[in-house]
Structure 1
Amino acid sequence: MENDQFIFCLEAVPDVEILDTTEVEKHLVNAALNNGISNIYKTCDTIEGLEESLNTLLYDDHNFKNYEIIYLVMQGENNNICIHDFFYSLDEIAELFEGKMKGKIIHFANTKILDLTQDEAQFFLDVTGAKAISGYGAKFNNLKSYPLDQLFFQLYQEDDDITEVVETLFQKKYELCKLLDFRLYY
């Protein structure tokens, strides 16, 4: 399968100097090897690190237009993300990404609950230029969304109609989608 769409994953970790292979990184390697899903995996431990990684992707990677999904694996509560014990609202993140995510899907792993009102979602989409924002309404410490995320990415490789992808995702993994409360705002 020849792919022209990539995934950029940014995971918040306690310390970027510690070079442990995370569970997320293992799942992305699996996605690349078994499903041909090209990806870049980066870690950050500060909001500046998040911004720097994004700017490197935007301005130094000539394939940026091929990155269809920005995959964020971060802790958080309500509509905040947590990086190194500091909380940042999704409005702040939207302003950080201002105009830079045109046509992209911003997808959150279920390490952070995504529960937006229609106005909050629209604000995020308008400010960032993103095509959609997706994630989960339920968080379980013992049940991670990584396998479902991987299927979502795989389906999007095959069909770039996001509503069709989500419909197929629910057809294939209905119980897990309902349990984790998969959400899409577009």
Structure 2
Amino acid sequence: MEHDKFIFCLEGVPDVDTYLETQVVKNLEEIAIDQGIASIYKTCDTIEGLEESLNVLLYEDHNFKDYEIIYLVMPGEPNNICLHDYYYSLEEIAELFEGKMKGKVIHFANKKILDLNEEEAQYFLDITGARAISGYGSTYNKIASSSTIDKAFFSLYQDNDDLTEVVEELYQKHYALCQLLDFRLYY
């Protein structure tokens, strides 16, 4: 089966100069082998690194239109990410991504809580141009979303463009995990 939606993954790490094969890399490799979903994986340890990686993808990768999922695996507090011991709010991230995410799904792994009210979600979507933002209301640290529910979400999204149907099917197939991690989609 030919897949036309790719994943661009940015993982926040303590130091980009220290190579460490994380569980996220292994999971992306499994997704590529098992489901045929291609991805680009990059690390960043500063907000400048995040912005630079995004700009390289936007302006130098001729296949950017195929990367429908922007997968952010970054620690943080609710509605904040933490890079190099600095916290950045989702409003700041939205401004960084301003107008650059048209049609994309921004998905956060469960290393941070995503808990937006309707106004905050709409602000993020309006500023970035993203189609949706998704993540988890729980950082239940015994289960990494990257090795479980994220794989299922990406797989289901490959076969269906209707995000509400994707989420319904995700809950049907993985109800206990969706509940435990409190999967959320804002669109």
Q: Is the 8 A contact 2:140 2:180 kept in 1?
A: no
Report how far residue 78 of structure 1 moved: 1.8
Q: Distance in 2 between matches of 1:104 and 1:122?
A: 14
Q: Distance in 1 between matches of 2:70 and 2:43?
A: 13
RMSD: 0.6
* Letter paired with 2:58: L
Hey, what does 1:42 align to over in structure 2? 42
Hey, what does 1:2 align to over in structure 2? 2
Q: Distance in 1 between matches of 2:4 and 2:173?
A: 24
Match of 1:101, SS?
A: coil
Hey, what does 2:114 align to over in structure 1? 114
Does 2:59 align with 1:59? yes
Q: Distance in 1 between matches of 2:31 and 2:171?
A: 19
Match of 2:110, SS?
A: coil
Q: Map 1:25-40; keep pairs closer than 5 Å.
A: 25-40=25-40
Q: Percent of pairs identical after alignment? A: 70
Hey, what does 1:22 align to over in structure 2? 22
Moved more, 119-128 or 138-147: 138-147
Q: Distance in 1 between matches of 2:2 and 2:185?
A: 27
Report how far residue 79 of structure 1 moved: 1.2
Match of 2:116, SS?
A: coil
Q: Distance in 1 between matches of 2:161 and 2:39?
A: 17
Q: Deviations over 1:104-157 (max 9, x none)?
A: 000000001000010000000000000000000001222111121011000000
Q: Distance in 2 between matches of 1:157 and 1:140?
A: 26
Q: Distance in 1 between matches of 2:84 and 2:151?
A: 26
Match of 1:139, SS?
A: coil
Match of 2:140, SS?
A: coil
TM-score by length of 2: 0.98
* Letter paired with 1:23: Q
Q: Deviations over 1:59-80 (max 9, x none)?
A: 0000000111000000011211
Q: Distance in 1 between matches of 2:78 and 2:141?
A: 16
TM-score by length of 1: 0.99
Q: Distance in 2 between matches of 1:24 and 1:165?
A: 22
Q: Distance in 1 between matches of 2:39 and 2:114?
A: 23
* Letter paired with 1:101: M
Report how far residue 185 of structure 1 moved: 0.3
Structure 1: 5+ residue runs without aligned partners? none
Report how far residue 26 of structure 1 moved: 0.5
Report how far residue 4 of structure 1 moved: 1.2
Q: Distance in 2 between matches of 1:35 and 1:78?
A: 31
Match of 2:15, SS?
A: coil
Hey, what does 1:158 align to over in structure 2? 159
Match of 1:3, SS?
A: coil
Does 2:73 align with 1:73? yes
Report how far residue 84 of structure 1 moved: 1.1
Hey, what does 1:169 align to over in structure 2? 170
